[in-house]
Amino acid sequence: MSSLRDYKPAMAMLALQFSYAVVALSTRAALLQGMNPRVFVVYRQAIATLFMAPMAYLSSRKYKSSSMGLRSFSLIFFIALLGVTINQNTYFEGLYLASSSMASAMGNLIPAITFVMASIVGLEKIDLGSVRSVAKILGTIFCVGGAISMALLRGPKLLNTEFLPEKSFLFRSSGGENWLLGCLFLFASACCWSLWLILQVPVSASYPDHLSLSAWMCFLATLQSATFAIFTEPDPEAWNLHSSLEIFCCFFSGAIGSGVSFCVQAWCISKRGPLFSAMFNPLCTVIVTILAALLLHEEIYTGR
């Protein structure tokens, strides 16, 4: 029984990677249909808040000793801004400009960036005489090299022709420029997510109720994202949802991709640390790349 409990964090992270794959694929398809990425982030976080609030209320009875002090609120506000508002707006812009497989592949940078950040702040100890430390360093090098090669190398095309409308949500440029610009957005998103993972350690220590913590993050991110979207998207038509796919994306990514995943991530990090959570990201790349080629007809090149 104890051995099963030891595997629970790993099983939870495996399930999360499959849910992230569904979010990436369905959202990519919805963005190509015309859904605005900034408006999508607002709807996603609002639905996540509504989904998490009842469970957070019931959970708060268990943690009566946990109080929302100024320090806890400031930390939660900051990680909501960094790990949700900025992270998701840059991620979905990059997802649109590049591809779903590229977005998932750039997520492989997260373990490397997290390892570097965790080493700087002292959460990870580097011992060159330890096989474990050497493996982490080599893994970091391979993660960075793989992401760079996917961004810069193409080679002969293996499968499909990707469809991308001429008008980007933020820029108008050629396909190659769109691709590299999308990679830059995705890299910025990976940095934000890595820092979010690191900050989960002090936040969880300050406010250990993971359900309530997730609900607060989603609520604050909704307010932050709505403020950003209102200033950057003055057209009221952009807030309309035009298809069942867009509605499904908002509900699934809000309830599962944000609400449940934030709670599971915080729980896993409290059990195994931030690097353990980040290590599972490459699995999502495999799932998304295969399904994106089959379902979305995304291009696959030998160089990538």
Over the stretch 96-152, which tens digit does the pLDDT of each residue have? 887 777 777 777 777 778 777 877 777 666 766 677 767 777 777 776 776 666 656
Mean pLDDT on 22-47: 87
Structure confidence at residue 163 as a pLDDT band (50, 70, 90): very low
pTM: 0.75
Q: What is residue 167's predicted lDDT score, i.e. its pLDDT?
A: 36
Residue 92 predicted with pLDDT over 80: yes
Mean pLDDT on 16-35: 84
Q: Give percent of the chain with pLDDT exceeding 70.
A: 76
Average per-residue pLDDT for the chain = 77
Mean pLDDT on 31-44: 88
Structure confidence at residue 172 as a pLDDT band (50, 70, 90): very low
Which pair of structure tokens corresponds to residue 298? 């995304």
Mean pLDDT on 214-236: 89
Q: Where are the domains of the chain?
A: 25-58+69-301
Of residues 173 and 79, more confidence is placed in 79
Residue 173 predicted with pLDDT over 50: no
Q: Give percent of the chain with pLDDT exceeding 90.
A: 9
